[in-house]
Amino acid sequence: MSPRAWITALTAVAAFGRLSLAAADPELPQDMKAVIALQGQPCDKVVSVKRNGDSDYLVSCQDGNRYHVFVDAKGRAVVQKQ
């Protein structure tokens, strides 16, 4: 493999790794569940976390509840029921 191909491959791996960081982080569901609970909202178990952007997630719980969890402009962690 040529050096150029190596660089291309590494760049792709790095980019993919960044994009899938949220899904790969094993502690993120637990973090989301704790934040939701801290805001007094129910969520028995987090089944999926979709990353919308920086500090912006859509969380689905096993009991059917879905939440938009994000950091607002004032730096507050916000949990919005969908």
Partner 1 sequence: MTRTPPPTQPAPAATEATKAPKRGGSKATAGAAAAGASAPAGGEPPATQPDTARQPPATPALDLASLEQRLRDTHAIGVFTKLSLKNQVDDLVMAFRAFHNKQAGKTLAQLRQQYEGLLLKVLSLLQDGDPSLASAISASREAIWGILTDPQKFSKI
Contacts of residue 16, defined as CB under 8 A and 6 or more positions apart, other chains included, come to none
Contacts of residue 40, defined as CB under 8 A and 6 or more positions apart, other chains included, come to none
11 token code pair: 């760049």
Question: Which of 9, 12, 21, 38: binder of partner 1 (CB under 8 A)?
Answer: 38
Query: Which range of residues in 4-12, 13-21, 23-31, 60-68 is near partner 1 by CB under 8 A?
Result: 23-31
Q: What are phi and psi of 54, to 5 degrees?
A: -65, 125
Question: Which of 43, 46, 61, 69: binder of partner 1 (CB under 8 A)?
Answer: 69
By CB under 8 A, is residue 31 in contact with partner 1? Answer: yes
By CB under 8 A, is residue 39 in contact with partner 1? Answer: yes
Please choose, from the candidates 57, 40, 41, the residue with its C-alpha nearest in 3D space to the C-alpha of residue 49: 57
The contact set with partner 1 (CB under 8 A) reads 27-28, 30-32, 34-35, 38-39, 55, 69, 71, 75-77
